[in-house]
Copies of this chain bind each other. A is one copy, B any other.
Amino acid sequence: MNKLLLSEKTSREFVSQLFMKIGACKEHADQVADHLTLAEMRGQASHGLNRIPFYAQKLQKGGYNIRPEMKILKETAGTALLDGDDALGVVSGTKAMELCIKKAKESGCAAVAVKNANHIGFLAYYTLMAAREGMIGLAICNSGASTAVSGTSKPVLGTDPFSIALPAHRHLPLVLDCATSVVAQGKVAVADREGKPIPGHWAYDEEGNPTTDAGKALAGTMRPFGDYKGSGIAIMISLICCCLTGMPFDMEEENQRRIHDATAGSALADLFIAIDISPYISLDSFTERVDQFIDIVKQNDLLPDTAKIYMPGEKEFDQMDCCRKTGGFEIGTNLYQKLQEISAFYGLEYDFTSWLLKT
């Protein structure tokens, strides 16, 4: 059987061409291409090219805005409220973090909130932008309700993720990017498709009982990570994003409806924070100490069931290396067909046979 293998370059070119054909300007199309391609290369396929069918549907039905007017609604030296204007989440997210970095360069520290946002992909993308500029980056966003508050089993919170990144010197930057559920819901979906059980602490069924049945878990509720601590983090993320921007909460009807309605924006909210390092200490001093920390931690003995001590984000960088060595990343045949249909719909002439690797 043939394998479907995309190189980083092929993926970027295809995605960018497709989104330009849909109507995006080159800058925005390139941003989407960069984001989705990196997600695949990092091993986060759930945030990769398989998002395109959903994005395309929302764009076609008018829920997403391919030519958004993203206005700064309110602004101070260290803050801004940006109207995402139902842009593709990557586009408003990238603009918001760029603005945040610009402001942090001037006043040292900045926080930019986005309203009328859509799914923004993986958060490490944005916090790494700050790390590349010699800053500490933070990003949080809300999502659709899927996860319980500690002590209950009803979906009240999204998997509302957070990311923190900071630069190193010899080493790659450190970047933490976590859902506040025990695992991302996508992992339950994978287990369900494969007919495999899930660990009993991942999710509840519809009656509120812990379950190892992936199908029942999908109909039920995800558990927050770290019990009341992860639950508390998710509550704070949800409140900060939604209350600063006036967007509906994860469990409110408006959120649920607009995420699934192709004719409406998803009414989500994000917050980006950048803290410049040089106002405190020279960037070299900071990054050399980060290197030393990594070196010290790596010297530790491993637990019996552990193959390697991973620093935050290292697994994803390893995966990128691996993809570059093997020539790219694989995608499934369903997605392959879907992408051909979408390309045909928008009149993109593209030779998909180059993705077929004879094995």
* A243 and B286 form a contact (CB under 8 A): yes
Known contacts A290-B239, A301-B208, A312-B236; A281/B244 CB under 8 A: yes
Is A176 interfacial (CB-CB < 8 Å)? yes
* B235 and A152 form a contact (CB under 8 A): no
* B296 and A249 form a contact (CB under 8 A): yes
Contacts of A235 in B (CB 8 A): 174, 176, 293, 297, 311-312
Query: How many identical chains are in the complex?
Result: 2
* B176 and A236 form a contact (CB under 8 A): yes
Is A309 interfacial (CB-CB < 8 Å)? yes
A176 closest partner in B (C-beta): B232
Is A109 interfacial (CB-CB < 8 Å)? yes
* A229 and B232 form a contact (CB under 8 A): no
Instruction: Report the separation of the CA atoms of residues A230 and B224 in the bound assembly, to the nearest whole angstrom.
Output: 12
Of A58-66, A77-85, A258-266, A334-342, the one with at least 4 CB within 8 A of chain B: A77-85
* A226 and B226 form a contact (CB under 8 A): yes
* A301 and B79 form a contact (CB under 8 A): no
Is A33 interfacial (CB-CB < 8 Å)? no
Interface code A274-315, partner B: CB below 8 Å = 1, 0 otherwise?
011101110001110110110011001111001011111000
Interface code A239-255, partner B: CB below 8 Å = 1, 0 otherwise?
11011111001011000
Question: For A77, A108, A276, A290, which residue has the most chain B Cβ atoms within 10 angstroms?
Answer: A108
A240 closest partner in B (C-beta): B136
Is A156 interfacial (CB-CB < 8 Å)? yes
Is A332 interfacial (CB-CB < 8 Å)? no
Is A36 interfacial (CB-CB < 8 Å)? no
A253 CB → nearest B CB, Å: 11
Is A217 interfacial (CB-CB < 8 Å)? no
Instruction: Select A277's contact among B164, B244, B279, beta carbons within 8 Å.
Output: B244
A151 closest partner in B (C-beta): B306
Contacts of A178 in B (CB 8 A): 229, 232
Contacts of A156 in B (CB 8 A): 296-297, 300
Contacts of A273 in B (CB 8 A): 109, 273, 275
A354 CB → nearest B CB, Å: 38
* B151 and A76 form a contact (CB under 8 A): no
Is A166 interfacial (CB-CB < 8 Å)? yes
Q: Offer 19 A-B interface pairs, CB within 8 angstroms, sorted by A.
A: A76-B107, A77-B106, A77-B108, A79-B275, A81-B279, A81-B280, A111-B275, A152-B306, A174-B236, A229-B230, A242-B289, A242-B293, A243-B285, A243-B290, A243-B293, A244-B277, A245-B281, A249-B293, A273-B273
